[in-house]
Amino acid sequence: MSEDIFYRRQVSRQHLEVLAQYMERYPPLALASARSREGHVQSKRMWEKIARTLNRIDEGVTKSGKSWARLFLL
């Protein structure tokens, strides 16, 4: 539980707004509907791209694409 609280503190409103914009532009990513191997690889690449964008918002926050996906998809 304490890890969840620490994790959430590092995510600003601006992070969430940018993440929401990506999800609106790429609905399959938001729905985690990558069922094929190619879709999974493409989804992973997209999350890494999103992570680079989100990490630039605040220098103190550096998460991998997998970490940002976990935040959104939970």
Fill in the amino acid letter for 30: A
At residue 50 the predicted structure's pLDDT band, cuts being 50, 70 and 90, is: very high
At residue 38 the predicted structure's pLDDT band, cuts being 50, 70 and 90, is: confident
Query: Where along the chain do its domains lie?
Result: 2-73
Q: Looking at residue 5, what is its pLDDT?
A: 46
Specify the residue for token string 């992570």: 51
> CA–CA separation, 36 vs 46, rounded Å?
15
Q: In this model, does residue 3 exceed pLDDT 70?
A: no
Q: In this model, does residue 22 exceed pLDDT 80?
A: yes
pTM for this model (two decimals): 0.74
| Mean pLDDT along residues 46-67 | 89
